[in-house]
Amino acid sequence: PAYQNPFKKPCFLDAKTRFKELERALKGMPRVLLSDFEIKQERAVPTIESVIHFQKLYRPKTLYLVIGADCLRHLSSWTNAKELLKRVELVVFERIGYEEIQFKGHYHPLKGIDAPISSSAIRASLGV
């Protein structure tokens, strides 16, 4: 998890609590790696920095970056976006019923579920 998303207001849960909740949620999933790399930086970490870190650490043949379709809309504003796209295979989670994103680059679509919910809606309902 991110220490702080540079495009959003601070989360109502601190980074360490979110990490512990993710640990619980991912228990029993041996093929999923949970890292506190960004949390340890104690600052907003550009995605390209995390990608370079994990490429050096694990030397994967391919590194997949999974993002939501809403993030794809603003990808060009991310730090070193062109370099990022050279380093990863982009997987985009698309939610049914949401506007299709126009993107000129290559990505692997991941079809979502038809659920009228989002993290923004959850935060709004909690008043955060």
pTM of structure: 0.80
In this prediction, residue 96 carries a pLDDT of: 73
Q: What percentage of the chain carries pLDDT values higher than 90?
A: 52
Distance separating alpha carbons of residues 102 and 16, to the nearest angstrom = 35
Please report the pLDDT score of residue 32 as a whole number. Answer: 86
- DSSP assignment of 33-49, as one string? ----HHHHHTS---HHH
- pLDDT score, position 114: 60
CA atoms within 13 A on the CB side of 81: 9
Rounded Cα–Cα distance for residues 43 and 14 (Å) = 12
Is there a contact between 47 and 82 (Cβ–Cβ < 8 Å)? no
Q: Tell me the per-residue pLDDT of 61-114, one tens digit each, with 9 for 90 and over.
A: 999 999 988 888 889 999 999 999 999 999 998 877 767 777 888 999 988 766
pLDDT over threshold 60, residue 128: no
